[in-house]
Amino acid sequence: MTADERVSSLLSKHAAIDHAIEEENQRPHPDDLRILELKREKLRIKDEIAGHYSHP
């Protein structure tokens, strides 16, 4: 997998997590722990994406 393919995959996962967060927030009683876990995973992916751009 090339670096561009990896970043593309990470961006897709990032968007899917964002969607999952939105869906959870729309529930009558959102699971705050689930939202926190999703946000942590989203941040981890964002950091990994940024790492791909900081290395030549």
pLDDT digits (tens, 9 = 90+) for 1-56: 898 999 999 999 999 999 999 999 999 999 999 999 999 999 999 999 999 887 65
Say how far apart CA 55 and CA 13 lie, in whole Å.
21
DSSP letters spanning the chain: --HHHHHHHHHHHHHHHHHHHHHHHHSSS--HHHHHHHHHHHHHHHHHHHHHHH--
Say how far apart CA 34 and CA 18 lie, in whole Å.
12
Q: What is the predicted pLDDT for the residue at 55?
A: 63
Q: What is the predicted pLDDT for the residue at 56?
A: 59
Q: What is the predicted pLDDT for the residue at 1?
A: 83
Say how many Å lie between the first and final Cα of the chain, rounded: 17
